[in-house]
Chain A
């Protein structure tokens, strides 16, 4: 009996199912929201006619724009700012921004799965997303456009252009925040800062080597019990301090040793500097010279300490912007307070000229691609080409002409007009300037020229960036994509495992109570990595490095 009932229920169920399918089939077509694009598939290299299109700004242009980062949310900002308004009114350009919803991977996945990619995507190169877009012909090759329009191609070095070529020989991206060998104004965001007031009160002792640093931190701890001598031991900066152009990015994710002499990537355990660096970190922690909370605090807690002047020494990535904020807050209350940037520190006996932990990237930070969903890819390229030029960069950073500036100097740097001198901070903030989806090194050139125009008024971070920029020696591009590993491959699975091992042992090494414990944990660390395919990773990275060098002609 029961079986019979069930059978009938299933019949009923399938009827409902069928009904709902019919319903959906009806409503599916009629309900097509306005701002989505139907995708034209199978687009190959776009036709580029020799004829010049009307210049950017002469005809209306509209496109949708998406940044593939969790934190990225242009919408809200880029709708009522001065630049967007000007673009709309003066250049007839309008972009619809698509937010990542705080979860870029899933947002991207849904757009791919439903074949409704936005017209323009900004994303990291060397990622599976990027490569799949190329492989599945979802983005437009830009070679012909590069040839046709002047600005971007001029700014990008030829070897950089070669590096950007995908395996099929085409260039698909427009780089953002890329450098050039012609850029005289190299900037860097990584360095050391000291608390100005404390340093002066302690008589500005020599602070060049790690021994100096150790002595200074001891002194701070003794004289200022409430001050935290150093926020956290930045392993990258300490490691780089051992000279021989040790490249600090090699500590990222899973540390490896980049041996510039043998041109091979080796196990990090073959580099004595690695162990020395770890020992130093351990010592600083165990002696209370770095924050005892550095592994367990939130980023916010860390910046609060810096902003309230409770830190004597700090080094961190993007220290220029953290440092500027803290410096400005402290200086507003006490002109003698704040933070100063100092040269890179190094281990005793090391030639400081070989301390260059931070490299420069001509490839830049990310890339902007145009998808095959875009109706007018060439005109979109035209816009970004203009945006990368001195004019575009100037507008993005200092606003459209007529607000803060009317004229600019021979380097392209705007000259403040009378109005800008009387404007309040609030009024300036309401302009919401600074949104820059594609930065070129024209930005650096203009920034540096602005410093020269008025050195006293220059912003702390610009001066600091230019100062740190002098320590930059290594070209990062040769390491482009060395950690780009298919996460589904065996090496990819091992890589995920190794990343966790690194995190675990980084912490364990800091907490080791004495040398014996440290040595034993250090040995376990090496064994654990080796047991998880570390050598395969090294072979892979060496191979990629070699290929890159060949491409770049190094």
Chain B
């Protein structure tokens, strides 16, 4: 250990001449700077240059006139959005659904990764890993088709099962009852992405130093103790970074999943619980070719999301020292 400490000091000394201020400082660490450069150029080329497009939020964009010639309208589209009678309903649903997703779906892949880590039989483990990641490759249209047939009144397996077990005496129309919608949505989303999302946590677990487990075993820790006192703390930085990013995405409650599970809005009984910001913008903005309105709402969404991100990041920094920047 002592050796390491002295080494560190040496490094610090060795590093000093590299630092400096301004352009000269940057030139001194040319190798490090050049590593950022390709990515940074991509950022400029493919993200920043086209970014002028956001100004259409303040214009009445007409594709035939182009962005430049379209007339300015100031905050007209924002006002339209804030004055729309659906605003409360849409914001309420958005927040409810994303909070539920954050609380229930976010931890699921972590739990799956922890469970997989407990499997000692390597073949079985690989099999489960591969199997659970498969649903990621099925489109939402197909997933909701499966959900529809599973929950159908006439031929659904769930109603059949419950009836046979004597739990219900008449099939339930699960898909038309607003009170079941969140359960259906969350289960389907969780099922679809749990395996795929767990991969990154598996990678984090693979990087844990085995000597930590050995040390815990010497202390007499059981499997559960080890899970909580070794595995979890070791993958915590990854978990926290993802948590920050998820909080910074809170106003994106979902789109394809909700749209397909409400049968493209055909099932009108669900609108009151299922309409979220993204589906609303799609319906009244994009599909009506009101690009400016859609962009304005998107801008509003991004600003709220960024505020949330900054808040989450600040808290994470204060509490655990993890920070995005």
Contacts and interface: CB of A to CB of B under 8 A. Distances in A.
**Direct A–B touching in the complex (beta carbon < 8 Å)?**
yes
Contacts of A105: 286-287, 289
Nearest to B66: A113
Interface string B22-55: 1100100000000000001100110011000000
B80 interface: yes
Closest 10 CB pairs of A and B: A507-B268, A292-B153, A504-B268, A296-B175, A487-B288, A503-B268, A507-B269, A496-B284, A136-B64, A112-B63
30 contacts: A4-B22, A12-B26, A20-B41, A20-B44, A20-B49, A105-B286, A109-B63, A132-B63, A292-B173, A293-B148, A295-B269, A296-B148, A296-B152, A296-B176, A297-B148, A298-B148, A301-B149, A488-B60, A492-B288, A496-B283, A497-B84, A497-B85, A500-B265, A500-B268, A500-B283, A503-B266, A503-B271, A504-B269, A504-B271, A511-B269
Interface string B269-281: 1011000000000
B137 interface: no
A488 B84 CA distance: 14
A291 interface: yes
A293 B263 contact: no
Contacts, number: 110
Given A5-B22, A487-B288, A503-B271, A292 B63 contact: no
A456 interface: no
A16 B22 contact: no
Contacts of B48: 17
Interface in A411-443: none
Given A109-B63, A504-B268, A504-B272, A297 B283 contact: no
Contacts of B325: none
Interface of A: 1, 4-5, 8, 12-13, 16-17, 20, 105, 109, 112-113, 128, 132, 135-136, 138, 228, 291-293, 295-298, 300-301, 487-488, 492-493, 496-497, 500, 503-508, 511
Contacts of B290: 487-488
A282 B88 CA distance: 30
A497 B173 CA distance: 27
B163 interface: no
Given A295-B263, A298-B148, 18 more contacts: A4-B22, A8-B26, A17-B49, A20-B45, A105-B287, A291-B154, A292-B171, A293-B154, A295-B266, A295-B267, A296-B148, A296-B173, A298-B263, A487-B289, A497-B85, A500-B271, A506-B268, A511-B176
A301 B153 CA distance: 12
A295 B85 CA distance: 26
B63 A113 contact: yes
B262 to A, nearest CB: 9
Interface string B205-233: 00000000000000000000000000000
B127 interface: no
Interface residues of B, number: 45
A497 B148 CA distance: 27
Contacts of B21: 1, 4-5
A293 B152 contact: yes
Contacts of B23: 8, 12
B88 to A, nearest CB: 14
B174 to A, nearest CB: 9
A13 B269 contact: no
Contacts of A500: 265, 268, 271, 283
B74 interface: no
A301 B148 contact: yes
Nearest to B280: A500
Nearest to A300: B145
A493 to B, nearest CB: 7
What DSSP secondary structure best describes chain A's contact surface? helix
A20 B283 CA distance: 38
A497 B283 CA distance: 10
B22 A13 contact: no
B277 to A, nearest CB: 15
A301 B152 contact: yes
Interface in B128-167: 144-145, 148-149, 152-154
**A17, A291, A297, A492 interface centre (most CB from chain B within 10 Å):** A297
Nearest to A499: B283
A13 B289 CA distance: 35
B158 to A, nearest CB: 13
Contacts of B60: 488
Contacts of A493: 80, 284
B139 to A, nearest CB: 12
A113 B67 CA distance: 9
B28 to A, nearest CB: 13
A128 B289 contact: yes
Contact of B284 (A1, A295, A296, A497): A497
Contacts of A504: 268-269, 271-272
Contacts of A135: 64
Contacts of A492: 288
A298 B145 contact: yes
B300 to A, nearest CB: 17
B269 A508 contact: yes
Contacts of B268: 295, 500, 503-508
A504 B265 CA distance: 9
A228 B155 CA distance: 11
B283 to A, nearest CB: 7
Contact of A292 (B45, B154, B267): B154
Given A5-B22, A17-B44, A20-B41, A132 B64 contact: yes
Contacts of B269: 295, 504, 507-508, 511
Contacts of A109: 63
A504 B178 CA distance: 12
Interface string B284-315: 10111110000000000000000000000000
A296 B263 contact: yes
Given A20-B44, A503-B271, A504-B268, A293 B63 contact: no
